[in-house]
Amino acid sequence: MLESSARSWNAGDLESFLDDYLDAPGTAFVGSTVTYGVDEIRRRYRSSYWRTGQPAQHLRFEDIAVRPLGPDHALALGRYVLLTPGTTTTEGTGWFSLVLQRIQPGEWRIIHDHSSESQ
């Protein structure tokens, strides 16, 4: 799921990137503030990383660890890395934790995303 998410980001496809989030009012993105619902999460991305209509950096995920929280939920921890397109130059990085919910066999959606930038 996260590999597909990074491919969507790097292709400039915000809608496919957001498909990983459960489209529900309680779906939360936590960074410097808390945002609820996919429409608000979309607005948040469009006003920051996607302000020009495309992401300013490429995205890669590293150090991913996933553990079950029951039969239909899991916790994913990892690091995101933002790179200058076409290079290996890191422009930003940080840690994330995702609470995932199984919506059907083999399909998971993010219900809680807490991402923070490292200094």
Q: CB within 8 A of 29, min separation 6: which ones? A: 21, 35, 41, 44, 113, 115
Q: Rounded to two decimals, what is the model's pTM?
A: 0.92
Give the pLDDT band (50/70/90) at residue 92.
very high
Give the pLDDT band (50/70/90) at residue 10.
very high
Q: 34 to each of 28, 31, 40, 90, 116, how far by Cα in Å?
A: 7, 6, 10, 26, 12
pLDDT at 86: 87
pLDDT in tens, 11-56: 999 999 999 999 999 999 999 999 999 999 999 999 998 899 899 8
pLDDT in tens, 64-84: 999 999 999 999 999 999 999
pLDDT at 119: 57
Residue 75: give its domain's CATH number: 3.10.450.50
Q: What percent of the chain has pLDDT over 90?
A: 86
Q: Say how many C-beta atoms besides its own lie within 10 A of residue 68's C-beta.
A: 11
- Structurally, the chain folds into a number of domains equal to 1
Task: Output DSSP code: residue 21.
Answer: B
Q: Stretch 96-110: mean pLDDT, rounded?
A: 96
Q: CB within 8 A of 32, min separation 6: which ones? A: none
Question: In which domain, by residue range, is 35 found?
Answer: 2-117
pLDDT at 27: 98
